[in-house]
Structure 1
Amino acid sequence: MIDANSTDQNQLKRSMKSRHLFMISLGGVIGTGLFLSTGYTINQAGPGGTILAYLVGGLIMYLVMLCLGELTVAMPVTGSFQSYATRFVGPATGFTIGWLYWLTWVVTVGSEFTASGLLMKRWFPETSVWMWSALFAIILFLLNAFSVKFFAETEFWFAGIKVITIIFFIILGGAAMFGFIPMNGSAAAPMLSNFTGEGGLFPNGLLPIFITMISVNFAFSGTELIGITAGESENPEKDIPLTIRNVIWRTMFFFVGAIFVLSGLISWKEAGVIESPFVMVFDSIGVPYAADIMNFVIITALLSVANSGLYASTRMLWSLSNEKMISPFLGKVTSKGVPFNALIVSMAVACLSLFSSVVAPDTVYMVLVAISGFAVVAVWMGIALSQYVFRKHYLKAGGDIRDLKFRTPLYPYVPIAAFVLCFASIVGLAFDPSQRIALYCGIPFIALCYLLYYLKNRGNKNQINSYNETDDYIRNIK
């Protein structure tokens, strides 16, 4: 096992325990994508199409995490997949992956602020969304500014609230769906009528499943936070494989279970993003104050994701600086191990999203989701490609497969399948006018990153050779 952080004078601190890694990764997933975006997906793909889309999205997530697991256990470094792409694909690709992932999370942080502000209007309809967004931004900045351990501990409890809420929702909503709890104004429990009624499982056909895959992948984004936290984990060799296995299956249970209940209680025609479908369900069940309680929990959940996102974007800037790809100014850390300059820059850019809360917040929100979804899927493609190239050159250099503490199964089929499915998700954006802007923004952004890298380093003969690192890796593996 290689610890690439150990040689840098601006070291991060290994203070995260296994429970922190698990809850941070799980907490990074359960947020806007589940609580708000599911309404959009149900509306577009119908009940059966939504469940199928999330099953496919879960498969993609699983394949990508298998690839990331092998790399992260062998090289537990902060900003992992950026470093892996740099070493095993090429420095320009690593540079681009780093900026794409940073973009993913600063946009996500911004969308969480906007979504939280939208939900606050349930209680304060006369207030502005941007006011709440600004307040939440200040709180999260302070949570990230203290220390890594403080961030990990607060995120552990934030994520715990979300997990308990999802379990409660599935139980209570399922009971209402099958008639164990009465619903307001309903003579009979809906049972499976929304699955078998008008339009059936796929009211708009199969194409919307393909189109909504970016939103689904956005919902699953956050599992790769395992890689970001690796450089600050106390025992990455033991904790990372355990976290990957636990997060994948629990995430699938929470998402598919919650979506089954949502689809059973809300007609696909009524679903949307103006109000959380979760709140709509609790309102319809009629439990006193249940919808308000759920609204509070969802806001907490959104802020939890933003908290993790701010952490991830800050560490990615630190990683780019650590690789000497951007200014060393962004690589400096405080005595508590916090990359404070990178934190300020990430928060400042994330706060640009507050403009979206002034002009058509519900419309701009879906645009933010599409851009963030495009970026995270592109990063997932980079993870799969990095593992494919790494294993290929690892074996070519004489490495023993048994020395890998975590091995991606069915090589090379797993990384190839992950790459192809991610690429298909991106192609789906071209068929959805409301999300097509992600292609218009994402593709030029990737091209710009490559162009900037080559312009910055032209004539520089000392850049990393992507495959020379493999021999060093084999010699240092433990």
Structure 2
Amino acid sequence: MSTPEVVDSAQKKAPLTEVVVESDIESLNYSSNNEEEKDYFFHENRLSSALKSRHIAMITLVGVFGTGLFLSSSVSLSTAGPVGMLLAYIMVGLVVGANQMCITEVACFMPVTSGYVKHSEHFIDEAVGFTMGWCDIYSSLIPNELSAVAVVMSFWSDLSPAIWITVFGLVVVLVNIYNIKWYGEIEFFFGCLKILLVVGLILTGLIIDLGGVPGQKRLGFHYWRDPGPFAEKYTTGSLGKFAGFWKCVSSVVYAYGGTQAISMLAGETEYPRRAIFRAAKRVFYRVFTMYLATVFILTLIVAHNDPAIATPNGTASGSPFVIAMERAGIKVLPHIINAVVLTSALSAANLQIVKASRTLFALATKKQAPAFFLRVNRNGLPWIAVGFACLFVPLCYMSVSSSASTVFSWLQNVTSSNILFNWIIISINHIYMTKALKAQGYTRKDLPYKFYGTEYAAWFSLFFAVLFLLTGGFPNFIHGNFEFSSFFTSYFIIPLSIILYAFWKLVMKSKYIKPEDVDLKSLFADIQNKPEPEYPKLKGWQLVTLLWA
């Protein structure tokens, strides 16, 4: 990948007090790389800008609050115990928060479709963007979330799972195929449902714990004392407790997955810089606060050695919240939770289609995918890319066959480690953006939006994301615990990314972009050419919008 010619230090920094008009941009000494950048932004401008801040916030929120919290938390509790589970959520939450700061700053500086894929091309190397993009597409084209719908529906119906896959598969296709605004409004509605459910779970759990249910004694911190704060895994003593905690960390990573979706639709958002920044701030404290509150309440009302939570079945009947509340005599809750879990699965399936299609669009602008993926309909939606992603929906039928389900399970699990790979690249993107700013005479004050201390948060999130990825399959290295399927799915992303990176470097001979050669001028010019008004201050009844905006 060619890089722009280096200008002298006096010209490196365009004055940010003036608006750079189009003629100024054309007068700059652009190389072929800049022509590619202008071509990319041309295609970006063809997309719809129908999404608003509330849509971006809720799309990110529904991508995080899912089966990991409502159903899989039972496995985390039985693996690590109450204190171990709570510490795991705090630890991973801090890493996610640091990573969120990184992606927000870079996305506000360069708000483009499939953000972090394009960011890695712009700040590091075209081969990194190619690698990340195709890893994302691979993980998103496997419709594992849609297959979960059939399992959730089995709570209510004995009909063949193939029927529900067909019905909800058509729903997912219809939601995505015409207008991005439909998708935004549907996800906004699902997000509101999830917030209400989480708040309801917290309040109900607190009532149970404090003895507010007739005939039930006050629990308090009883389960923290008996059977104890930590569970032992693989061995006994302190080492067994640490092993249980670290195994729980691996599970919690995937419960937080989806936060990076905040930059995915920047190219289809009205005033993307301010929308992303506001959504990032509010989504993180909502996710972190609500996650910790929910997990904390859960540890108070269910014992980690309760046999009912050891083997979840994928429906509401296996949820630890349902188990606790059924024992308290609350009968209707399982149906409510199962309904919201159903919306979670549908939201995640929608997000997979969106992620795959927008990444295909982004790669096509760089000639790393066929050019026909750039076609958009009259509503500014990349319909061919969306249609291609929808073609893989029938893979869900593999989960119906007992023989094919094993293969499909492998494909599902392989996609999980891609979350950590995303976090790693997101951190590196920010590190290289910071290097480029310093090399060209800019400071962090020149960024349109920023958080305090993000230059350190990037290294923090990078270290732990790498650590989580390398140790994610650690049980396979314990004598007598090796399983090839577990080992393969934990580490397949590593050789896959190396092969893709090497392919693009050797075939296309892309070059690493030096910090002083990164094209920052066009980004600052775009900021000045597209000023975004500040949000008006909320007054009176408008304060209610803080719940979702």
Give TM-score scaled by structure 2 length: 0.79
Aligned-pair CA distance for 1:166: 0.8
Gaps of 5+ in 1: none
Q: Name 1:67's counterpart in structure 2.
A: 102
Partner of 1:437: 488
Please name the residue that 2:255 is paired with.
219
Moved more, 39-48 or 57-66: 39-48
> 1:358 aligned to 391, 401, 420, which one?
401
- Relative to structure 2, which stretch is displaced further, 54-63 or 288-297? 288-297
Q: Distance in 1 between matches of 2:137 and 2:219?
A: 43
Partner secondary structure for residue 346 of structure 1: helix
Is 1:84 the equivalent of 2:119? yes
1:242 and 1:152, CA in 2 relative to 1: closer, same or farther beyond 3 A? Answer: same
Quick one: distance in 2 between partners of 1:390 and 1:115?
39
Query: What CA distance in whole angstroms lies between the structure 2 residues aligned with 1:65 and 1:360?
Result: 40
Q: Are residue 114 (structure 1) and residue 147 (structure 2) matched?
A: yes
Deviations 1:391-446 (CA, angstroms, capped at 9, x unpaired): 11111111132221222432542111110000111122221347433234222321
User: 1:20 maps to what in 2?
Assistant: 55
Q: 1:134 matched to which residue of 2?
A: 166
Structure 1 position 94, deviation (Å): 0.8
In 2, the alpha carbon distance for the partners of 1:355 and 1:60 equals 35
CA displacement at 1:387 relative to structure 2: 0.6
Write the distance in 2 (CA, Å) between the matches of 1:160 and 1:9. 30
Q: How high is the TM-score relative to the length of structure 1? A: 0.90
What is the aligned counterpart of 2:205 among 166, 173, 187?
173
2:370 aligned partner: 327
Determine the C-alpha separation between the residues in 1 that align with 2:75 and 2:263. Answer: 29
Which residue in 1 is equivalent to 2:312? 273
Residue identity in the other structure for 1:195 = W
Counterpart code for 1:155: E
- What percentage of aligned pairs have identical amino acids? 25
Name the counterpart of 2:285.
Answer: 249
Alignment root-mean-square deviation, CA: 2.7
Change (3 A) 1:424 1:264: same
**Quick one: structure 1 residues 286 and 105, their matched pair in 2 at CA, closer, same or farther if it must change by over 3 Å?**
farther
Q: Say whether the 8 Å CA contact 2:356–2:389 is kept in structure 1.
A: yes
Cα offset, 1:114, TM superposition: 2.6
Q: Which runs of 5+ in 2 are unaligned?
A: 1-15, 21-36, 234-240, 477-482, 529-549
Q: What displacement does 1:287 show?
A: 2.2
- Farther off after superposition, 417-426 or 303-312: 303-312
1:163 aligns to 2:195 (yes or no): yes
1:99 maps to 134
Amino acid at match of 1:38: S
Partners of 1:446 and 1:349 in 2: CA distance: 22
Counterpart CA distance in 2 for 1:48 and 1:365 is 34
Distance 1:42 1:414 in 2: 29
> Larger C-alpha radius of gyration, 1 or 2?
2
Where 2:61 maps in the other structure, the secondary structure is helix
Task: Please give the alpha-carbon distance, in whole angstroms, between the structure 1 residues aligned to 2:438 and 2:219.
Answer: 56
Over 6 Å off, 4+ runs = 1-4, 360-366
In 1, Cα distance between equivalents of 2:451 and 2:403: 44
Provide the C-alpha distance between the structure 2 equivalents of 1:48 and 1:218, rounded to a whole number of angstroms: 19
What is the SS of the residue equivalent to 1:406?
coil
Mapped partners of 2:338, 2:464: distance in 1: 34
Q: Sort the Cα spacing of 1:262 and 1:43 in 2 relative to 1 into closer, same or farther, 3 A.
A: same
2:227 aligned with 1:192, yes or no? no
User: 1:415 and 2:451 equivalent?
Assistant: no
Give the structure 1 partner of residue 156 of structure 2.
Answer: 123
The Cα shift of 1:43 comes to 2.0
Give per-residue Cα distances to partners, 1:148-179, cap 9 Å, x unaligned: 11111111111111111111111112211221
**Offset of residue 323 of structure 1:** 2.1
3-state DSSP of counterpart to 2:42:
coil
Matches of 1:267 and 1:363, distance apart in 2: 32
Q: Deviations over 1:23-64 (max 9, x none)?
A: 111111111222222222122112211111111111111111
Q: Which piece of structure 1 moves more, 22-31 or 300-309?
A: 300-309
- Indicate which of 262, 271, 280 corresponds to 1:235: 271
CA contact (8 A) 1:21 1:226 kept: yes
Q: In structure 2, do the counterparts of structure 1 residues 18 and 375 end up closer, same or farther at CA, with 3 Å as the change threshold?
A: same
**In the alignment, structure 1 residue 450 sits paired with structure 2 residue 450:** no
- Residue 78 of structure 1: SS of its match in structure 2? coil
| Structure 2 Cα separation of the partners of residues 423 and 413 of structure 1 | 16
Question: What is the CA distance between 1:367 and its match in structure 2?
Answer: 5.4
